[in-house]
Structure 1
């Protein structure tokens, strides 16, 4: 649907459309992460306080808004962890600990993000392949991080998959309440695992 032109109460049509899209994304995150709710377009619209007309202004269907949520969460995880690693300096142990801590802090602050990206996306055929791609992308980033102190490229990629796959399983168990540990324990254990896979 085309965005209407014109300004209303000092707000442009483009800004109003952007605000509605933001509300729909936030609503989709909340509805999708709630195991007691069925994720439907109607539920997302209700949570956003918008009609289906405005839903179709931004998204072609339910799969599209859920895909946008996954992409947004994946981008946030990447930017947050990379920034934390860079801020930690050059020491490999300090960098990986900072990156894992930033990731865990993000999940503690908003568990919904981990649930939709790691748990719920795996249950939807339309998003399962993209979830796999994202996990492999993060595995590649883990391998890249180790390049300055490990030179076995193919082994690095394999170790990255082991690390990220393991993290995904830990996060799944943690968010579902099957793993009762403090965030600090997750950070410490994950950091040791990474350094074991990529010894300095």
Structure 2
């Protein structure tokens, strides 16, 4: 009966598939962020301890797995930055600093996430369109946040343009920091990004 219902040792087939997908996502992140390992399906499966059969259970191909990782990181960034801003209260400067601090802390805790989402995804033609969509989404959310704080009297297209400048600038700043091209502490990044946001919408 347990076999027929798909339940094995108290875990359903759906739950087992979800667990395997999670392992493959973590493996894709690890392999993709490692400069000493080729990003291939074979290496991802080896890292996850799963066969290619299970890879295809979750993803059509390697591009799909990498896109899923990119989306997962983007969702995490959006969630933690929004929660941090909400917890900071109504002061625009405090909210900006809290939001950027949450983002930078994510990079400090797991630099792989920043590297694959901001740096590596830009280098892959198959992922570049999705990365561009996400960058524009974050730019729009930046404009919305400024509007909610009544920081900008302009509104509309000008706020959207400012959002693109902010997100693009932060992406370049993080890229340089991850590559070791700038000598900056996490606090330096936070201060620079927060000043940029307040200046653009001031």
Scaled by the length of structure 2, the TM-score of the pair is 0.94
Tell me if the contact between 1:29 and 1:112 (Cα under 8 Å) persists in the aligned partners.
yes
Confirm or deny that 1:174 pairs with 2:177: yes
Confirm or deny that 1:124 pairs with 2:124: yes
Give the drift of 1:197: 0.8
C-alpha distance in structure 1 between counterparts of 2:142 and 2:12, whole Å: 42
Aligned to 2:78: 78
Give the drift of 1:5: 5.2
What SS does the aligned partner of 1:126 have?
coil
Aligned to 2:17: 17
Tell me if the contact between 1:85 and 1:96 (Cα under 8 Å) persists in the aligned partners.
yes
Aligned to 1:196: 199
Aligned to 2:187: 184
C-alpha distance in structure 2 between counterparts of 1:184 and 1:169, whole Å: 17
Which residues of 2 match residues 69-148 of structure 1 at below 5 A?
69-147=69-147, 148=150
Scaled by the length of structure 1, the TM-score of the pair is 0.95
What SS does the aligned partner of 1:179 have?
coil
Unpaired runs of at least 5, structure 1? none
Backbone CA RMSD of aligned residues: 1.1
Give the drift of 1:12: 1.4
Tell me if the contact between 1:5 and 1:14 (Cα under 8 Å) persists in the aligned partners.
no
C-alpha distance in structure 2 between counterparts of 1:65 and 1:82, whole Å: 26
Confirm or deny that 1:29 pairs with 2:21: no
C-alpha distance in structure 2 between counterparts of 1:5 and 1:188, whole Å: 55
C-alpha distance in structure 2 between counterparts of 1:7 and 1:149, whole Å: 54
